[in-house]
Each structure stands twice: as structure tokens, then as C-alpha cells.
Structure 1
Amino acid sequence: MNSVTEGSGPRVLIAHGLYGSARNWGVIVRRLSDAFTVTAVDMRNHGQSPWAESHGYEDMAADLAEAIGGRAHVVGHSMGGKAAMVLALTAPERVDRLIVADIAPVAYSHTQIQYIEAMRGVDLSRVETRGDADRQLAGVVPEEGVRAFLLQSLDVKGRRWRLNLDVLAREMDRIIGFPGDLGGVFEGPALFLSGAESDYVRPEHRERIKTLFPNAKFAKIPGAGHWLHAEKPREFEAAVRAFLGGMG
């Protein structure tokens, strides 16, 4: 499992969301590294990490456990948040404090398959620069910010995506779902941090969250949507730092 680590102090592990990578978290890693040893990982089938035929949350939680080795605070966004929750529920001895960014332990109905189709639709033989790929994507992905995010996973020189698009497409139902038979409860401190403009964590999800994470606290970042760490990095950092104990 590929990862980047900076800083010293108490350990923090960061798990990114679908189509993301460790590099998406560079700003947060650098800022928190003054007080913590911060490791951001590339999840399986993403970034520089190995590709695998399975992309279930039990698999991803096992990857995170291996990356931690011992024990750490764990921060996860979206898909990474679900993997972090499964880790906390199945191996609570690995997790000190848990921060789940804008996701709940429930199945969602909105698929993300359209972005896989968009990436598959790029004729990589005609890509000399990232701009070439951006212009091709623009016809199907009008949002400039979304295109920029997806293009972070394009290896321009190698003319390949650093995403296992075939497996991610095949496993999409598992990715937007959540395992229902884990049988565990995480009694440790947990923060469910959401974007105030996002609808991923709804009031009706709180009962489920409290059942699995009885000590969960809830907070929202004003003006932020689902990509709260990218949209409001300073506010996100401040919330993480406060929950993890200020300066560590």
C-alpha cells in the first residue's frame, strides 16, 4: 500500500475517497505534521497502490490495519470514511480517535459510475498534456473542479489512469453500500464531520451512527459541501486538530 508520511508525534492515518489519492491530502498532511506523524495512503486500486480484484470495505479496512501496524488516530473521507468505520468496528484496538468526513454507515443510492464512463471515454492516444484530457472530459463532465480532481489520477506520460476503472465499476454497488453484518461497536471517541452544504449525512442517519458509534459527536463546516477538506482546508484542519487534542 503506497503512502506518504510527514511530521512527528501521535500517529494520524488519512484514507481518501473514491477516485482520490494521498496527494489530494498534501495540504492537510503538511499542516498537521507540526504536531502529528501524518500518513496519507493510496487506497487499493487508486494512486500508486496495488490493484486488486476486490474492492469491499472489509478488504480496505484490512489494508488500513496493515498500514497502521499498531495504533493511530484515523481520518477517512467518503469511501475512506466507510473503510475507516469498518476498521474501527472490526479492529477497534487499531483506532484511537476516529474522524469520519461527510459519510454515514449506510448504503447510498447515487452511483459514481458516470465518472468511470467519462474517464474510459478519454482517448489516451491523443493525450500529450493534461489539458488535452481536460478538453475531452469537458464534454461529459462540465464541472471544472471535478475534472481537475479526476485528472490528478491521470499518468500523462504513461497515458494511463492510476485507477483500476474496471474493478471500481464492477464493485460500485459495494462502494456505495455498507457492510451490514460486522457485529461490532466502536466505543472510542468519534467525530462525524460534515459539510453544511452536503446531504451525505442526514438527520435520519444519526440513529444508525449512534448505534455503531455510541460516543459519536457531530459537527458541520459552514459553506462546505462533500469535498469539505478541499473546499475549507483551514476549517477542516482546525476541527481535526481540536478533536485530536490541539497540538497532539
Structure 2
Amino acid sequence: MSALCRLIHRGLLCARPSRPSFPGLLEVSGGAPAVVRPASSSSPVNLSYDVFDGKGESTPLVFLHGLFGSKSNFHSIAKSLVQRTGRKVLTVDARNHGNSPHSPALTYEDMSNDLMHLLAQLHIEKCVLIGHSMGGKTAMTTALTQPGLVERLVVVDISPSQTSFEPVSNFRYYIQAMQEVKIATDIPRSTARRMAEDQLRHLVEERSVRQFLLTNLVEQNGHYAWRVNLEAISAHLDNIMSFPDFDNAYEGPTLFLGGASSAYISSDDYPEIQRLFPYADIQYIPDASHWIHADKPLDFISSIISFLQS
């Protein structure tokens, strides 16, 4: 493995904001009831997804987003990869995120089962899984439990280890700040967004983080709400920051792609990566934070294409 670049963490969330859509909602302020689509923790939920059709016959690419993200985080990347590879590309909303149903359960086993359920529905027998952060852990779980389903695996800026460095505690503050937001009904979206950002500011100092969290603010019938299931995320945050125990390994081609300015993949993680993914290559993209695909989209796309051709 190559020597680790010197890592300087620059914050947990710095994605470019994208326009949110209209999912099941959790209430932000009093008035209308929350619109939540419950799902049993023992059964998979029907995930929301977008398909970008390619003309080629190669294995499709499936993108899984991170915590507080959505399938739209990868739309521009997906379009570019369709053009450059001819492959079909799917971007998927995890349960409790985006347009996918809400559920009280939020484990990696649950999210992996959701994904396998979706792929079975779409008659996809094999895919290339590409997961960022939380989505990377879901992708690893799927590869380790159903290796025949995963032709290749790309894990973006996360490792199969406990995410335990200090900035992770910020997520608790993010959730608290979002839960405390109160917004009047029947006001313009721009006004609602400003109100929400003003209220987030006391616990979420970085503007880029606030802008990212605000991609989850949606309006339905004049009422503003968070589309992410904050209650489930809060209840399972320790689980999201950890990783299931596995004794077996995934022996397919694997790429761990880290940001050189992020702390999420460190040299301390190398032994566990080698144990679970013996054919893994670890690469770092210079001047990229945790959100590699937002910071360096062209380098990110080139790395994916090179890996597919290797």
C-alpha cells in the first residue's frame, strides 16, 4: 500500500447544496401532522432511486450516499459516467433519507437488505457498488454478505472501522439543531430557508454544513419539514459510526478512495481493510475533503473509470 498522505480534516460535511425533492416528511413546526411512511425493521423498504441509462452492456454502477445526503448528490457524476462509460447508473436514497420510506430501524444490515431488495426488483444480478461514507459502509456490508452480487466495490472516504475521531461528535449537535428549528407556515421557501439557517447557526458554525443540512428542508402544503428521519438517525448514530463484525472477506476488486484532506481513512485502518478486502487498493485525491465527489469531481470520475478498466 502507498504511504498515507498527511491528513488535515476540514469538516464533516461540505457538499454542494442541491435542490431537494418531496418525500415523506417529519414535522418541523406545529400544524399539519407528520407524513411518515412506516416500515417494519424486519423487512426491507422500497427505496427511491433514479436511473441514468447507458447504451452499453457492462455491469451497472450503483451509488449510495452518506448521512444526511440523498441520491441527488451523485446526479452530475452519474450523467458523466454514463457518457464516458456507456454503463447504466443508479443513484439510490437510503431508508430515512431523500424520498425513501422512514423506518425506526437504521442498521447497516437493514440498509444492505433494502439495497438487495431493490436490485432484485430491478433484475440486477451483479453490479459495481460505489458508496460514500455511510453509503460506503452499506456497500461493504453488502459485498461481505452477498459477494456474488458485487462485481467491484468502491468505498469513498470511509473505512470498515469505528469512526471515532473527535469531529464525529458534531453530528449530535447537527441533529439537535435541526430538531429545534421552528418555521412559520405559508411563507416563501426562501424566507423559510433563511429562518432555518438562522436557527441552525448557534450549533452549526460552518456555513457549508448548514447549506448541506438545509438540502433536507422541504415544503408540503405550506408546512416546512425535514425529509430525513431525525429520530431514527439520533437513535442509531452510534451504530452508523461503527461497522458490523465480519469473519469472512470480500475477494473482489476493491478501491478505497480517500480525500487527502480528510481523516476518515488513516493508516490505522489499513490492517482491517486488508483483512476484510485483501485485494483492495487505497488511493487519495489531493486537496479533497470528505466530500471528494463535490470537491474534485473530475478527479473522482477519472479514478472510478481507471478502476473499472483495471
Give the TM-score of the pair, scaled to structure 2: 0.76
1:170-224 Cα offsets, whole Å, 9 max, x none, are 01110001111x3321000000000001111010111100100000001000000
Give me the whole-angstrom Cα distance separating, in 1, the residues matched to 2:175 and 2:226.
Answer: 10
Q: Structure 1: which amino acid aligns with 2:108?
A: Y
Asked if 1:145 is matched to 2:205, the reply is no
> Any conservation in 2 of the 1:224–1:231 contact (CA below 8 Å)?
yes
Give me the whole-angstrom Cα distance separating, in 1, the residues matched to 2:203 and 2:188.
Answer: 20
Higher mean C-alpha deviation, range 140-149 or range 19-28: 140-149
Give me the whole-angstrom Cα distance separating, in 2, the residues matched to 1:38 and 1:122.
Answer: 36
User: Deviation at 1:121?
Assistant: 1.7
Give the 5 Å matches for 1:47-196: 47-69=98-120, 70-109=125-164, 110-111=168-169, 112-125=171-184, 128-129=188-189, 130-157=193-220, 158-180=223-245, 182-196=246-260
Q: Structure 2: which amino acid aligns with 1:186?
A: Y
> Any conservation in 2 of the 1:92–1:186 contact (CA below 8 Å)?
yes
Give the 5 Å matches for 1:9-20: 9=56, 10-20=59-69
> Any conservation in 1 of the 2:183–2:195 contact (CA below 8 Å)?
no
User: Deviation at 1:242?
Assistant: 1.1
- Report the equivalent of 1:237: 301
- Report the equivalent of 2:266: 202
Task: Answer with 1 or 2: which has the greater Rg.
Answer: 2
Q: Structure 2: which amino acid aligns with 1:192?
A: F
Give me the whole-angstrom Cα distance separating, in 2, the residues matched to 1:31 and 1:207.
Answer: 34
> Any conservation in 1 of the 2:143–2:149 contact (CA below 8 Å)?
yes
Give me the whole-angstrom Cα distance separating, in 2, the residues matched to 1:93 and 1:131.
Answer: 47
Aligned length: 245
Give the TM-score of the pair, scaled to structure 1: 0.94
Structure 1: segments with no counterpart, 5+ residues: none
User: Deviation at 1:30?
Assistant: 1.2
Give me the whole-angstrom Cα distance separating, in 2, the residues matched to 1:67 and 1:223.
Answer: 35
Q: Structure 1: which amino acid aligns with 2:80?
A: R
Which residue of the other structure, out of 26, 29, 42, is the alignment partner of 2:93? 42
User: Deviation at 1:156?
Assistant: 3.1
User: Deviation at 1:123?
Assistant: 0.7
Which residue of the other structure, out of 49, 58, 69, is the alignment partner of 1:3? 49
Q: Structure 2: which amino acid aligns with 1:199?
A: A
Give me the whole-angstrom Cα distance separating, in 2, the residues matched to 1:120 and 1:128.
Answer: 21
Higher mean C-alpha deviation, range 59-68 or range 196-205: 59-68
CA RMSD of aligned residues (A): 1.4
Q: Structure 2: which amino acid aligns with 1:113?
A: R
SS at match of 2:114: helix
1:61-106 Cα offsets, whole Å, 9 max, x none, are 1112122222100000000000000000000011011000000001
